[in-house]
Amino acid sequence: MTNHDLIIRNVRVVRPGVQDTPLADIAVRDGKVTEVGPDLDISSAREVVDGGGKLAFPGVVDAHQHWGIYNPLEEDTRTESRACAQGGVTTSLTYMRTGQYYLNRGGDYAEVFPQVLAASEGKSFVDYAFHLAPMQSSHIAEIPELIREHGVSSFKIFMFYGSHGLHGASNDQNSFLMIPEGERYDIAHFEFVMRGVQAARERFPEIADSISLSLHCETAEIMTAYTKIVQREGKLTGLEAYSASRPPHSEGLAVTIASYLAHETQLPNINLLHLSSAKALEAAMLMAKTFPHVDFRREVTIGHLLTDITTADGIGGKVNPPLRPREDVEALWEHLLAGDISWVVSDHACCKEATKFGDDPTDIFAAKSGFGGCEYLLAGLVGEGRKRGLPLHQVAELTAWNPAQRYGLHTKGDIAPGFDADIALVDPDRSWTIHPEDSESTQEYTPFRGLEVPSTVTDTFLRGTRIFADGKVIGHPTGRYVHRPATR
């Protein structure tokens, strides 16, 4: 009699909070892990996969992606979810807002978000959910309904949009953001968003722990002023110029402002996104000590951990906040190894060459911001982390358990009975070199080009179905929209 749909045998199971990686088998039925242990009865399984002693990680919960920012959402959902599968990512949390890019429209989320769900439905190879950004005052009033009706429990503020566009200085905020005349996207709006999120937490106390606010922490006025200085002086070029135009103290100042507003509004669940510099982390750690009643989570990206302004492959590495000098990269690793970082993400934003680069492909300020990277997240963190002494169970925490817990994905993030059978097999000793043409993403370049990665994702399973094997994405899109909080 068949008791299991799948048994993955002979793997070293990596679990959050568990230092040992014992050789074991993983049994799956109806998309859930049912048993983990040695020498399970494989005759009870419809399918058996021999893991060959590889590491079995919980499927990555990539908490920061951008589907649909430069390409139609339905297109990115198809293609970039394939890149997710390639990299062991089984759940994508992708940001969405109104305004230019994305759907290129304004208005209330009551009209916009159903369009978002319709555009992505049935097209993803991995499970997915959305963070939403309240861009105008009416969006704040919609927060409770977004939580209740659509299971959107995480929200975002882009602090640098105050007088800055997506790629550089902007004097036309209302047109860029498509917000009503007379409204401003500024610190006062940020405060009112915080009050709105906290009011929602109080309205839904039983799920309050899963409701949070994330912030892109850069200070618009500082960046605008320094961009003018860097361009006027003309001494710096490329990624070095872009880093200088958005200096690290801009991050530190924004972190400080955001933290005090969280204190003022009594909003405890704050996520500080893609911190890129020593000064940003300095401010973040100082604010945690200053406001111990605020539960800060600190995020870094795999791009900021693996590349810098001199090693990245050209101005394709333009991203917000910028890639930094090597000393900042080392500072990020020091904080990560010290346990100060909550999770690591890709900030995946596919931008094809024709869109990415301006008329002058050497002009960093004419290029678009953002690049892909979910394909390299798990393998890159395992490989570089092992060199630096990062324990495997912390990799599982940083890539799966911690973001899943924070964002209300309580069926994700562990390999244990009752959890979704989202699993990534990793050969820790198979090295490879990154070439953009090998990626499932439709992006034709990568700042990671030429980087040797010491570890390889060989297989990815979504709810017990193998979606990546033998270097290829297989099967059909079976990813589901996750209504949060999702409970086991």
User: pLDDT tens digit string along 242-279?
Assistant: 999 999 999 999 999 999 999 999 999 999 999 999 99
Are 313 and 362 contained in the same domain? yes
Are 27 and 72 contained in the same domain? no
Are 42 and 118 contained in the same domain? no
The pLDDT tens digits of the residues spanning 354-380 come to 999 988 989 999 999 999 999 999 999
How many whole angstroms separate alpha carbon 396 and alpha carbon 18?
A: 10
Contact 126, 81 (CB under 8 A): yes
Residue 447, CA distances (Å) to 92, 304, 359, 476 in order: 21, 11, 20, 30
pTM of this prediction? 0.97
Name the packing angle between helices 326-337 and 278-290 (round to 10°).
40
Residue 14: give the domain boundaries: 4-50
Q: Is residue 426 included in any domain, yes or no?
A: no
| Location of structure tokens 């679990």 | 15
Q: What sign results for the dihedral spanned by CA atoms 109, 110, 114, 117?
A: positive
Return the pLDDT at 359.
Answer: 87
How many whole angstroms separate alpha carbon 444 and alpha carbon 352?
A: 6
Residue 93, CA distances (Å) to 144, 209, 301, 374 in order: 19, 17, 14, 12
Q: Is residue 314 included in any domain, yes or no?
A: yes
* DSSP conformational letter for 160: G
Are 267 and 399 contained in the same domain? yes
How many whole angstroms separate alpha carbon 56 and alpha carbon 1?
A: 27
Q: Is 347 helix (H, G, I), strand (E, B) or coil?
A: coil
Are 9 and 156 contained in the same domain? no
Are 231 and 367 contained in the same domain? yes
Return the pLDDT at 358.
Answer: 85
Are 23 and 129 contained in the same domain? no
Domain count, the chain: 2
pLDDT class for 162, splitting at 50, 70, 90?
Answer: low
Are 358 and 386 contained in the same domain? yes
Q: What spatial distance separates the first Cα and last Cα of the chain, rounded to whole Å?
A: 26
**Neighbouring residues of 197: CB distance < 8 A, sequence distance ≥ 6:** 143, 155, 211, 212, 213, 267, 269
The pLDDT tens digits of the residues spanning 274-291 come to 999 999 999 999 999 999
Are 446 and 309 contained in the same domain? yes
Return the pLDDT at 160.
Answer: 87
Q: Is residue 107 included in any domain, yes or no?
A: yes
The pLDDT tens digits of the residues spanning 89-107 come to 999 999 999 999 999 999 9
